[in-house]
Structure 1
């Protein structure tokens, strides 16, 4: 009985870029004089095993080492002296009176994600799921970082983030944070429509893993189609450290 010849072909990783992409590289060049790092939802409820959404997002966060990468971006941006902004997500008691919402909105409200006791109080905020990850606080609470008013669903249309960035002379955005196919993608789309040039940091985000689909993969495909650049954390850190 003769041995059959078998040909083994390595199965490409589902997140690997295509070997021969059909789309052109937009060629974004980082200009530190007009660039900002924008980090979306760097909060406990997303990024910590103690957070209420960890069962849905933990696998992707762990796989991409998202928490460490976001920290590296904060440190590099502060060292480079560029504008840094945070777009947080908070829900107040009045928000739970909404009369309709999409599937993920329903989930966020049901698990009390990002809950605060009110818009004018910090009672119970420290260490809660709505609070920032402890390791990021030295960067966020340094008196220089823009902490925008909260966005309420996914995009920045309901907060003052775009205004704050324009007032700081920003026209280029390095975009990171949570979650890939939800708030990050929604911020990306709105920023592009407002005329910003946007690079997404692919390993400084993560997505939900559910029977309904892989949220990270869904976002990654769209990033390839619409972002001005798709960089890794290491690539961003090198660009931030480059001397003009």
Structure 2
């Protein structure tokens, strides 16, 4: 269920038309996949805060995602990161769509070189400091970067298959962009996917409320739509059973 403080427009309909389905977790088959847990999205110091900050604050995204990380580690499930990086040669593409054009314009996720961490620490491409203990514990799978929004350009699906994972708890940034793109691809490839509705957020621009748009599509495509509290409770219950 959404948190008590959730704005009314984000609450589920009282009388939904879509059928109710759910995911019954089996921990050996389950992974937490987090897209873009990086400074440029989630920090007031990040390049995209002007577009995403209101939604992140409204949903308490940073804290909720941290709580989900902690619960996943406590339950012993795989944690997989699908990051976003741009290198100098990525900025020399001959064409780009709207969202990626904005990311390039804001210089989001910029790194000097694929094989160098010079200037990485504390940059917009770096992990949020709150998440470093979970990501840099020597156990988390950090995949190659996706380049626009979906996992088609990195090794997330490969890593999941190699661990015999077919249930995904999905969280991270941004709701209508990378999270939704990962959701769609995972579902098409036969994964069960539960999206953590308050461990993500979307832009608020003159073009519209991206989180609301994503939420509608999550209801259509995801096998389950859970709050951070629900994820924590379900993982704890499975871990105790």
Q: TM-score scaled to structure 1, two decimals?
A: 0.94
2:233: which partner in 1? Answer: 238
**What's the offset of the Cα at 1:30?**
1.2
Q: How many residues align?
A: 233
Residue ranges of structure 2 left out of the alignment (5+ in a row): 1-6
Give the counterpart of 1:41 among 36, 40, 44. Answer: 36
1:32: which partner in 2? Answer: 27
Where do 4+ consecutive residues of structure 1 move more than 6 Å? none
Alpha-carbon distance between aligned partners in 1 of 2:199 and 2:158, rounded to the nearest angstrom:
24
Q: Does 1:93 align with 2:100?
A: no
Q: Which has the larger radius of gyration?
A: 1
2:12: which partner in 1? Answer: 17
2:3: which partner in 1? Answer: none
Alpha-carbon distance between aligned partners in 2 of 1:78 and 1:13, rounded to the nearest angstrom:
32
**What's the offset of the Cα at 1:27?**
2.5
Q: Does 1:212 align with 2:202?
A: no
Q: Does 1:189 align with 2:184?
A: yes
Give matches, 1:35-74, under 5 Å. 35-74=30-69
The C-alpha deviation readout for 1:108-129, integer Å capped at 9, x for no partner, is 1011100000111111000000
Alpha-carbon distance between aligned partners in 2 of 1:74 and 1:178, rounded to the nearest angstrom:
14
Give the counterpart of 1:79 among 74, 77, 84. Answer: 74
Q: TM-score scaled to structure 2, two decimals?
A: 0.95
1:6: which partner in 2? Answer: none
**What's the offset of the Cα at 1:73?**
0.5
Alpha-carbon distance between aligned partners in 2 of 1:161 and 1:226, rounded to the nearest angstrom:
19
Residue ranges of structure 1 left out of the alignment (5+ in a row): 1-11
Alpha-carbon distance between aligned partners in 1 of 2:23 and 2:117, rounded to the nearest angstrom:
40
Report the RMSD for the aligned CA atoms in angstroms.
0.8
